[in-house]
Chain A
């Protein structure tokens, strides 16, 4: 128990918390920027191979973080195709890995949400002469409050995973150490009270973010119907 106050006093715990949030939130923003339009396009579009793509996307939701970590590691390692970027063992590499990890989650869930809504909107939008990507983005924007849950699913996955950030970040103290990798380290060192403390903080942060999102969604739905 003696180390716990120590980590707090030096502000290191907050540094770790801040890096966790920074990495995972950035990954959510990037994955959303690509995944939401992708999901909407697949929901509204009709093209050969669409069903196969939906199945693939749904399957990729279960992508193991260690596999993503290993793949990104190989890409970013010095001999790899992106080795010259020098990203390995930096927060940038962790963002990249988590973005790849949660992109299928956000794309697959938003695809389902837009497709369900599309049943209601299709006739009206076609009647107004709206087609293709314009229609997809219109529906996406219209169900924006429901999509908060999709983003939270992505954030939850990113904040909770340890395999990918461990491999591509390396859990370097003060550089790439985040909540989950710190927790894994303290557990293996046998400092269970500290590990438990970190776990409680991690869960509390996720809880606060979800509560905030819930309140935003409720207020918005009351206002816009």
Chain B
């Protein structure tokens, strides 16, 4: 297990504008973590810093279990599929990771997300929801310790969103740590055990999900919850 993940005084600055930081955070194994915040709050940047796609301007990202490498994976808002079959997209990811028995592991992952019967279909002609399920299968095929999900359902209709959420719950139950960003409060409630609330690049609140929605501790979070759920 590579967790916990320790972020220390992390910041990310572009052209003098601070997009994230300073953030100090410890992400533990176990219950799922939801990174919540308005558009532009820095959710995606924070996810990419944790995943290692972006190098911090200052501060450190440290995995306690040593080199994280293939032990963590990420699913993006817009999945990028290779121009080959659904199955080949998953075997590709396994093969570059040096897995010997890529084919059977890939089929397993496709079954997990309910895409086994579409295995031979070219990935790029699948629907948006199917492509996102395929992206989940590809990320999960290596059974990572941590799975980062950056607004995975932002472009999907409610039906496809429900399917994605069911898969994420199954991964969670199987022991993979879920770290997911979203601006959808309903989704945060359904999937999150704890909430990290970002505002203008900083973590202003971190609390168990129920508590966060019932009685947010900070004014910013309260305004966000109220604005997003005016009927509550």
In the bound assembly, the distance between CA atoms of A127 and B79 in angstroms comes to 12
Cβ-based interface call for A128 (8 A) = yes
Cβ-based interface call for A63 (8 A) = no
Contact indicator A129/B83 (Cβ below 8 Å): no
In the bound assembly, the distance between CA atoms of A134 and B92 in angstroms comes to 11
Q: Of B51, B74, B122, which contacts A225 at CB under 8 A?
A: B122
Give every chain A residue within 8 A of B70 (Cβ-Cβ): 129
Contact indicator A224/B124 (Cβ below 8 Å): yes
In the bound assembly, the distance between CA atoms of A148 and B122 in angstroms comes to 20
Cβ-based interface call for B53 (8 A) = yes
Q: Of A127, A129, A142, which contacts B82 at CB under 8 A?
A: A142
Q: Of B53, B96, B122, which contacts A223 at CB under 8 A?
A: B122
Cβ-based interface call for A12 (8 A) = no
Chain B count of residues within 8 A CB distance of the other chain: 22
A–B complex contacts, Cβ < 8 Å, 8 sampled? A123-B53, A127-B51, A127-B73, A127-B74, A129-B70, A129-B96, A141-B83, A224-B83
Contact indicator B69/A129 (Cβ below 8 Å): yes
Cβ-based interface call for B93 (8 A) = yes
Give every chain A residue within 8 A of B138 (Cβ-Cβ): 128
From A126, A127, A142, residue with most partner B Cβ within 10 Å = A127
Contact indicator A126/B53 (Cβ below 8 Å): yes
In the bound assembly, the distance between CA atoms of A10 and B122 in angstroms comes to 50
Cβ-based interface call for A59 (8 A) = no
Cβ-based interface call for A121 (8 A) = yes
What is the interface of chain B, defined by CB distance below 8 A to chain A? 48, 51, 53, 69-70, 73-74, 76, 79-80, 82-84, 92-93, 96-97, 122-125, 138
Contact indicator B125/A225 (Cβ below 8 Å): yes
Extra contacts besides A124-B80, A128-B138, A129-B70 (11): CB < 8 Å: A123-B53, A123-B76, A124-B76, A126-B53, A127-B51, A127-B74, A128-B97, A141-B83, A142-B82, A142-B84, A225-B124
Give every chain B residue within 8 A of A33 (Cβ-Cβ): none
Give every chain B residue within 8 A of A126 (Cβ-Cβ): 53
Contact indicator B69/A120 (Cβ below 8 Å): no
Give every chain A residue within 8 A of B73 (Cβ-Cβ): 127
Contact indicator A224/B122 (Cβ below 8 Å): yes
Q: How many Å from the CB of B198 to the closest CB on chain A? A: 20
Q: Of B76, B96, B125, which contacts A134 at CB under 8 A?
A: B96
Residues of A116-151 contacting chain B, CB below 8 A: 120-121, 123-124, 126-130, 134, 138, 141-145
Contact indicator B83/A142 (Cβ below 8 Å): yes
Q: How many Å from the CB of B68 to the closest CB on chain A? A: 11
Give every chain A residue within 8 A of B76 (Cβ-Cβ): 123-124, 127
Contact indicator B80/A121 (Cβ below 8 Å): yes
Give every chain A residue within 8 A of B93 (Cβ-Cβ): 128
Give every chain A residue within 8 A of B122 (Cβ-Cβ): 223-225
Q: Of B48, B69, B125, which contacts A224 at CB under 8 A?
A: B125
